Amino acid sequence: MARVAVLHNTLDFRGGADAVCVHTCAALAAAHDVALFTISETTPDAVGAQFDVDVSVPVVAPPGASNVAAALSAAAPTVGPQLAARSVLLRAFFRRHASAYDVAVSTANELAVPLPSVQYVHFPQFRCDTTPTADPGRLNGVWSRLAAPAADRPDTRYLANSAWTADAFEASYDRRPTVCHPPVDPIDGVPWGARADRIVVLGRIAPDKRTLDAIDVVDALRARGHDLTCTIVGAAPAAYRDYVADVRAAADSRPYVTVETDVPRGRITELLGRSRYGLNLKPIEHFGMAVAEYVASGMLAFAPDSGGQVDVLDGDDDVLFEGVAGAVDAIAAAIDDGLQPSLPRDRFGRDRFADAIRRQVAAVCPD
């Protein structure tokens, strides 16, 4: 049994990266002594409930961590990207505790740590001058000098959430991670004929997710004669409160659009299992957790033709698109042609993910 420190800069955005964090903690806790280092207002239990994961590990955080996290979230609309800065803060705190652990596991991208480590990369957070699709912020060079790892360390193993992310990491560090898709279990649902003609937009409500554009897509489809409704369901982080207010206002003016935030996991699976269509509009999504959940629930999923989503949808041109107009055309054509989902629902199951994480940690554990 090893002493494992899981490092995750913040759980406050409650997205796919945070799902990977809680699944990793659960996968390792059965065989190792695990502690989670984070600077968050949100608890692991809250994220675990969102993704149906039982997380029972102690949390180690700096004094006043919840207040620091709240202040960072409040400042986000003004200061811009801050995940790398949060990682720098967490690393500084962890270094004072590192001697108590055998292995570090970063579930929020690459990070310089003084231990053997496994590092799960959703998208490179440092050295972003070599990844032009990133929005690193003005201080990324500073954060990189403080906390970017030396990629040639032999006792570090890197994982990436998609082949596209692996390409981006290799461009920055000249080392290719192993692709390990995030965990998404199959979701029970009713047969296709019993499902509602509803578009579900799942996930964090935020500008980069282009949630408002989804409402434009539904407007355009209804103008073409398709009697669709839309439910937007997901997290409403404080950092994006102004944008969330705009989304709510747009929905309130349309009887066919509803917004549900921070709902129980059972409500999410109910929507997914009883709806026909799932829509994501963020281009260059690093993986696309929501898209994978659409597939896992037997929905017909639509996403931009870029990033890791292409992996999730197996490169299917019928459901991949470019821009709002492309989304409207793709969904309209699918409805007109009677297209139904055909991808296997169990491609990304949690057992596969847990086994992979345990193998990687075993490979770097000191003898």
- Contact between residue 121 and residue 159 where contact means Cβ atoms under 8 Å apart: yes
- Contact between residue 305 and residue 321 where contact means Cβ atoms under 8 Å apart: yes
Q: Per DSSP, which regions of 11-100 are E strands?
A: 33-38, 59-60
Vertex 210 angle, CA 233 and 48, to 5°: 40
- Contact between residue 88 and residue 144 where contact means Cβ atoms under 8 Å apart: no
The pLDDT tens digits along the chain (367 residues) read 899 999 999 998 888 899 999 999 999 998 999 999 999 999 999 999 988 999 999 999 998 888 887 887 776 654 455 788 899 999 999 999 999 999 999 999 999 999 999 999 999 999 887 665 666 677 888 989 999 999 889 999 999 999 999 999 999 999 999 999 999 999 999 999 999 999 999 999 999 999 999 999 999 999 999 999 999 999 888 888 999 999 999 999 999 999 999 899 899 999 999 999 999 999 988 899 999 999 999 999 999 999 999 989 999 999 999 999 999 999 999 999 999 999 999 999 999 999 999 999 999 998 6
* Residue 319 to residue 326: CA distance in whole angstroms: 10
* Residue 143 to residue 86: CA distance in whole angstroms: 10
- Contact between residue 295 and residue 341 where contact means Cβ atoms under 8 Å apart: yes
Backbone angles phi, psi at 76, to 5 degrees: -55, -45
Count of C-beta atoms within a 10 Å radius of residue 49: 16
What is the sign, positive or negative, of the torsion defined by CA atoms of 14, 17, 18, 19? positive
Q: Is this model's pTM higher than 0.95 or not?
A: no
**Residue type at 176 in one-letter notation:** R
* Helix runs in 96-230, H state only: 140-147, 163-173, 211-223
Query: Over the Cα atoms of the chain, what is R_g?
Result: 20
Q: What's residue 141's pLDDT?
A: 86
Q: What's residue 135's pLDDT?
A: 66
Q: What's residue 70's pLDDT?
A: 81
* Residue 152 to residue 221: CA distance in whole angstroms: 51
Question: What 8-state DSSP symbol labels residue 80?
Answer: -
Structure tokens at 16: 């796919």
> How far is it between the farthest Cα atoms of the chain?
66
Domains within the chain, CATH numbers bracketed = 3-183+349-364 (3.40.50.2000), 192-337 (3.40.50.2000)
* Residue 316 to residue 244: CA distance in whole angstroms: 31
* Residue 232 to residue 185: CA distance in whole angstroms: 21
Q: Per DSSP, which regions of 75-174 are E strands?
A: 103-106, 117-121, 156-160
- Contact between residue 51 and residue 14 where contact means Cβ atoms under 8 Å apart: no
CA 103 from chain centre, in angstroms, equals 24
DSSP 263-285: --HHHHHHHHHTEEEEE---TTB
Q: What's residue 136's pLDDT?
A: 67
Q: What's residue 178's pLDDT?
A: 97
What is the sign, positive or negative, of the torsion defined by CA atoms of 210, 211, 212, 213? positive
Structure tokens at 268: 């999410």
Structure tokens at 207: 């500008």
In the three-class reduction of DSSP (H, G, I as helix; E, B as strand; rest coil), residue 34 is classed as strand
Q: Per DSSP, which regions of 235-319 are E strands?
A: 257-261, 275-279, 300-304
Q: What's residue 181's pLDDT?
A: 95
